[in-house]
Chain A
Amino acid sequence: MPVPARPKVGGSGSYWPARHSGARVILLLLYQEHLVSTKLHWEMEPRQWSGRFPEMPGQDKTGKDSPSHLSRMRRGPGTEPTLSLLPWFQNPNGHQFLTKEELLKRCAQKAPRVAPGSARPWPALRSLLHRNLVLRTHQPARYSLTPEGLELAQKLAESEGLSLLNVGIRPEEPPGEEIAVPGAASAELASEAGVQQPPLELRPGEYRVLLCVDIGETRGAGHRPELLRELQRLHVTHTVRKLHVGDFVWVAQETNPRDPAASPGELVLDHIVERKRLDDLCSSIIDGRFREQKFRLKRCGLERRVYLVEEHGSVHNLSLPESTLLQAVTNTQVIDGFFVKRTADIKESAAYLALLTRGLQRLYQGHTLRSRPWGTPGNPESGAMPSPNPLCSLLTFSDFNAGAIKNKAQSVREVFARQLMQVRGVSGEKAAALVDRYSTPASLLAAYDACATPREQETLLSTIKCGRLQRNLGPALSRTLSQLYCSYSPLT
């Protein structure tokens, strides 16, 4: 039984290796090794062992310098769905440790800048050993994660790689009060790989219902600790995670999984809450996020959508008149079918969430829950009035969150259409017609390049037929677009 080389040096609770640092890379590489060898069972295609990165259209074949993400999901035509997850993974039989050589080799592939030469000392590795996050055993040395190292690596993976999206341009912060659910990371990895997880059934007494708070709700704008403090004060069982849609959901979590090493099974209940302070609401209406967020909420797989509007009654200098806000919120209720809840401040919001949590716990007592595959409706007659019986055919939490990432990802076509609409006069239908003809900016720019004269460029788009009534885009818009896309001098 290996013995830690040194006594514990302080706690590792406040240690958070910076992005792209050697220490982080080492931790993630060892974590990946750990996952593959202990937790996940899937078929491995021999071709994945080639060590090359999956090919990408538009990239040259030797392109390897990718950002440090733990997992990748290939999408688009002609990609292998399973296990393109670990492109640099060489060893099909994971042994839960890596030799220094293996570590160096993978590090060189993943993040060349932080890998030292093989003969040179590696301060990042030494530091991790010193902090008791990594263990060294045997001769020649084998490196693996200690329990603390495993915990930290899970948090790193969760905060960074699994979403595949950067949290934002805010500075990195340590997770603080977060309670990362062990194993959630690996379940989400599996969901992203498209690996079918076995159907999950949770009988009464085998699960508990808890509130899941999006990590974004606990940071920023001074509300960081207050919401969680209130929830704790009200004795609400909750967990904090990164949600890719919505601000609050509820999970039914297995209390005694049969396999203690595996992560507890988790199903997400049919309710989802989006919280908006009035000033947020104003700015999101103005910049268009309001509509887009609602659109994504409608497609997330959860049907009981709640809009929690906060800060009623406090004095505001808002950028929109009250009547506009009232109409926007009422529209959300009547047209989009969301349940609207108005609260005065964050304490009231926390109290509301506490009541909802208790209400849901009570509602689900005695019910058996079953997982359903992504993409299938939970309630076949969703148009009918909601029944008092709670929905028991539920998505797994990992499917739900992974699906939300995919819905959030922007395609070239979509961004191009949105960009075209930034030109005054280009409506959704006109943009649709333009993108139908030139589906990428490269395609449009090439068409302009192929024009013989500036006049030809100006009129290139004027006869594009738009909309139901098949009207021409017109010479004026065509000219404006040519000015935008053909000008080699700075725009004004």
Chain B
Amino acid sequence: MARVGPGRAGASRRGRSGQRRPATWEISDSDTEGPAHSEAAARTRDPAGERRAAAEALRLLRPEQVLRRLAVRVDPAFLEDAGADVLMEALEALGCECLIEPQRPARSLQWTRASPDPCPRSLPPEVWTAGEQELLLLLEPEEFLQGVATLTQISGPTRWVPWISPEITARPHLAVIGLDAYLWSRQHIPRGTQPESPQVAGAEVAVGWPEVEEALVLLQLWANLDVLLVASWEELSQHVCAITKALAQCPLKQYRESQAFSFCTAGRWAAGEPVARDGTGLRGAWWRQIRQFSRVSPAVADAVVTAFPSPRLLQQALVACSTERERLGLLADLPVTASEDGRPRRVGPDLSRRICLFLTTVNPDLLLDLSS
């Protein structure tokens, strides 16, 4: 039974709800495999060697491995605030390389990824692209609001975005800690006593949340620039760690997406209950199989599986039909437990037709929803 399913230690946690470690790392051998068509020729020459190379390439795709090649460069100015310790500790705990060196722009964090050395040739090179990836620029609330004031006063066709200069190649994100608190405190200082810095004194627009919201949309439309508004360093560090983990998963997910049936859910969420040696658990699998058709609710799946508790029993009933019409309508009148509104339901002719066509056709490219 050991061969069924992935043979990794972590896999025993599949299917269990509740406790999970940062679970997005979990992968199994079988999940990282891909089609072997192009390798067929190579394999006949040195099958064992090719397989080893392919296995090694797949191993390097794993997030833990990618993390080792990920470096986070932190500008020293970033660390001026004592709260930054939280962030640095969290990053170090992840296992990526943290370097403190001056960055351009100042007060930013940059992620870069190195390609593996040597670089496996068996996977497409894009998977291993090195270079700068993401950049996070930290702004003080006041600085941010000045930019907002300028942005919301722009009229006409100019679309100038502050803070980000054109030579930046990494994808930029902005972050501001404590903007909400800052704006709130400004509102509650009586007008006359508010200390005004020279720049703010010049601005005629009172910058509040409406202007911020407008500026956020302009930043999105003009530069695809997102702004992380957080209340504390803890929150910022959560986001920074999430970005780091996402970058570590990039190669694997991009590779998977290029594979067959990439849209299908093969992960632990959908794996469901295990099947025992005597076949117990297969009814659940059959039930989940019915749910793979579009627009099938649990209640509808219940109805079908109750009436036909195995695929063969359904096939048998289809074969016993004497007309095409009977066949396609076999499931249509099966009653379905009524939903909240109490109206009696049935499986219906559309789903009945799709399921029956599905089981009887020899054309794998038949589009079920569109066939007449």
Contact = CB atoms under 8 A, between A and B. Distances in A.
Interface string A463-492: 001111111001111001001111111111
A33 B157 CA distance: 48
Interface string A49-68: 00001101111101101110
B68 interface: no
A430 B30 contact: yes
B188 interface: no
Contacts of A465: 36
Interface stretch (B140-148, B198-206, B257-265): B257-265
A58 B293 contact: no
B54 A428 contact: no
A492 B280 contact: yes
B73 interface: no
B217 A356 contact: yes
A412 B217 contact: no
B370 interface: yes
B235 to A, nearest CB: 10
A57 B363 contact: yes
B367 A411 contact: yes
A171 interface: yes
Nearest to A330: B242
Contacts of B222: 363, 388
Interface residues of B, number: 116
B58 interface: yes
Contacts of A372: none
B300 A169 contact: yes
Contacts of B270: 287-288, 421-422
Interface in A328-361: 330-331, 333-335, 339-341, 351-352, 355-356, 359-360
B308 to A, nearest CB: 9
Contact of B226 (A69, A171, A339): A339
A359 B217 contact: yes
Interface stretch (B18-26, B81-89, B102-110): B18-26
B371 interface: yes
Contacts of B312: 445, 485-488
Nearest to A388: B159
Contacts of B293: 410, 415
A414 interface: yes
Contacts of B324: 59-60, 62-63
Contacts of B281: 424, 492
Contact of B372 (A53, A334, A409, A424): A53
Given A324-B23, A326-B242, A363 B221 contact: yes
A294 to B, nearest CB: 9
A408 interface: yes
A292 B253 CA distance: 14
A427 interface: yes
Contact of A435 (B159, B361, B364): B364
Contact of A410 (B157, B361, B367): B367
B238 A326 contact: yes
A334 B368 contact: no
Contacts of A356: 217, 220-221
A333 B353 CA distance: 39
B228 to A, nearest CB: 9
Contacts of B285: 422-424, 484, 491
10 contacts: A164-B370, A295-B262, A388-B161, A388-B222, A388-B223, A409-B369, A410-B369, A424-B4, A468-B35, A488-B313
Interface of B: 1, 3-6, 15, 20, 22-24, 28, 30-31, 33-36, 39, 43, 51, 54-55, 58, 134, 157, 159, 161, 171, 213-214, 217-218, 220-224, 226, 238-239, 242-243, 245-247, 249-250, 253-254, 256-257, 259-267, 269-275, 279-283, 285-286, 288-289, 292-295, 297, 300, 309-313, 315-316, 324-325, 336, 341, 343, 345, 348-350, 353-354, 357-372
Closest 7 CB pairs of A and B: A467-B33, A288-B265, A490-B309, A439-B364, A334-B246, A330-B242, A425-B5
Given A334-B243, A474-B3, 6 more contacts: A58-B357, A76-B366, A165-B295, A331-B246, A355-B217, A409-B367
Interface of A: 53-54, 56-60, 62-63, 65-67, 69, 72-77, 164-166, 168-169, 171, 285-288, 291-292, 295-296, 304, 306, 321, 323-324, 326-327, 330-331, 333-335, 339-341, 351-352, 355-356, 359-360, 363, 365-366, 385-386, 388, 405-406, 408-419, 421-425, 427-432, 435, 439-443, 445, 465-471, 474-477, 480, 483-492
